[in-house]
Amino acid sequence: MCGRFGLTRGPSRELADLLGVDAADLSFHRPRYNIAPTQEHFVLTSEYERRKVLPARWGLVNRGARDNSRAAQCINAMAETVQAKPSFREAFQQRRCLVPADGFYEWRGPKQSRSPVWFHAQDGGLLFFAGLYEEWYPDRGTSETTFTILTCAPNQVTGQIHNRMPVILPDPKAQEDWINPREPNPLSLKRLLIPAPDDLLRMQPASSLVNNVRNDGPELLVPDERGQTLDLFPR
C-alpha cells in the first residue's frame, strides 16, 4: 500500500525539466511533505506526445459516480488485478498517468507506537509512480480529476516494512509507454508493473509528525530521536 507520499521540491525550472513539462505549468505547486488520501496533487499525462500537468485529487472517483464517498478506498489499485476490477478497468485501458513524488512513507512497530519511515531514491532523484486517472462531475458543469497509485509486491528494501509498494517507473521509456494514450494493447503494459530494483530506494526514520495529515513541512523528515539512516544497500 502507498498511503502517504511527498514531492518536497517547489516549482522551478529544474523540477519542470525533470518532469518534462513547462515551468509555467507548475505555478500552483508548492513543496509537499505529507500528501494524504483525498488531498490535491497533480499527475502527468501525454497529449500530442508531450507531457501535460493535470491537477488531481488522490482517490479515484469513476466518471459516473454520484458522489466521492468511495474515494479514500480507491487510493491504490493492485497491479495484479487492475485490468479486471470494475473501479479501475476503464481507466487502465484509457487513462494512465504518472504520479510524481520524491518519497513515500510506511510505518513500522506495534499499533500503539507506530513509527513512520521515509523511502526515497538513493540518488535523491524523483520517483514516478504508475497511476490511473478519472474525471467526474461533483456538480453540473464542474469536473474534478482524481487518481490512484498502482501497487505491486515489495522489493527487498520495502519488504522489510510492508508487503506492498507503489509501482515505480524509473526508466523514461517505460514512463512514456505507460502514459501513451494510443497504446493498442494496454495489457502488454502489465510487464512494467513490477517491483522497483533493489538498489533504487533507501529508507530513513521520519518524525511522528507525519501521523497527523495537517502537518506538512521539512521537519517531518527529521526523526524524533537521534538515529542513523537505514540503508540496506550501502554504496
Task: Report the catalytic residues.
Answer: 2, 106
**7: Cα within 13 Å, side-chain hemisphere:** 21
Please report, for residues 53, 66, 200, 232, the alpha-carbon distance to residue 235 in angstroms, rounded to integers and kept in the order given: 35, 51, 12, 10
| All three cell numbers of 28 | 500552483
CA distance 30 to 98: 18
Which residues, 6 or more positions from 74, have their beta carbon under 8 angstroms from its beta carbon? Answer: 59, 60, 61, 87, 88, 148
CB–CB of 75/88 below 8 Å? no
